[in-house]
């Protein structure tokens, strides 16, 4: 059971693929992590994405070429992708014992070609690193007071 009065280092709103990845990285760095998910379970869409195969990223390792695919957002995305790029994505999943394979048009999939394996790798890493999850939790309001974030109306 998750204690709602606890002070967390990191609270992630949304337990999809990016929320799960953020939780894994944060918890593996020793942070107390809580993921708030409005659905019954984490990663529901992740389990079925890409027709069940899960196209994780594009295997273009030149960040400038990679970002050409994002139109007007290219400049905005340059900073985050200079910190964590496609190559880092490959390393991340390899560290979870889920190597990626490159297929047509530089699309990267889990070697198993199963989206469920991506979900399981992330979920297992969250569990291993002690991240907490609160399912069926919709965040309706966030209040900042005295340098703390408080949630009001968690449903």
- Tens digits of residue pLDDT in 71-101: 999 999 999 999 999 999 999 999 999 999 9
Please check whether residues 95 and 71 belong to one and the same domain. yes
What confidence category does residue 155 fall into, taking pLDDT thresholds of 50, 70 and 90?
Answer: very low
Please check whether residues 66 and 21 belong to one and the same domain. no
Please check whether residues 107 and 128 belong to one and the same domain. no
Please check whether residues 123 and 81 belong to one and the same domain. no
Please check whether residues 84 and 122 belong to one and the same domain. no
Alpha helices in 29-131 (DSSP H): 63-67, 74-83, 86-95, 115-128
Please check whether residues 86 and 120 belong to one and the same domain. no
Please check whether residues 2 and 25 belong to one and the same domain. yes
- Residue-range definition of the domain harbouring residue 21: 1-49+115-155
Is 109:134 a contact under the CB 8 Å cutoff? Answer: no
Name the DSSP letter for residue 44: T
Phi, psi of 94 (to 5 degrees): -65, -40
In terms of C-beta density within 10 A (0-12 exposed, 13-18 middle, 19 or more buried), how is residue 12 classed?
A: buried
Provide the number of structural domains found in the chain: 2
Please check whether residues 27 and 72 belong to one and the same domain. no
Please check whether residues 125 and 137 belong to one and the same domain. yes
Please check whether residues 74 and 100 belong to one and the same domain. yes
Three-class DSSP category at 85? coil
Please check whether residues 2 and 24 belong to one and the same domain. yes
- Measured on CA atoms in the order 15, 21, 24, 30, is the torsion positive or negative? negative
- Here the tokens at position 113 are 């070609």
Model pTM greater than 0.75? yes
Give per-residue pLDDT as tens, 39-75: 999 999 999 998 999 999 999 999 999 999 899 999 9
């Amino acid at each position: 059971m998750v204690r709602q009065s606890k002070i967390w280092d990191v609270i992630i709103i949304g337990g999809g693929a990016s929320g799960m990845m953020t939780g894994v990285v944060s918890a593996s760095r020793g942070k107390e992590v809580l993921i708030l998910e409005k659905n019954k379970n984490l990663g529901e869409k992740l389990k079925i994405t890409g027709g069940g195969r899960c196209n994780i990223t594009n295997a273009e390792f030149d960040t400038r070429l990679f970002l050409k695919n994002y139109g007007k957002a290219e400049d905005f995305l340059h900073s985050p992708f200079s910190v964590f790029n496609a190559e880092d994505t490959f390393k991340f999943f390899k560290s979870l014992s889920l190597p990626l394979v490159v297929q047509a048009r530089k699309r990267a999939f889990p070697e198993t070609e199963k989206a469920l394996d991506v979900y399981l790798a992330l979920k297992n890493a969250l569990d291993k690193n002690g991240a907490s999850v609160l399912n069926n939790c919709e965040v309706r309001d966030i209040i900042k007071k005295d340098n703390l974030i408080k949630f009001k109306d968690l449903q």
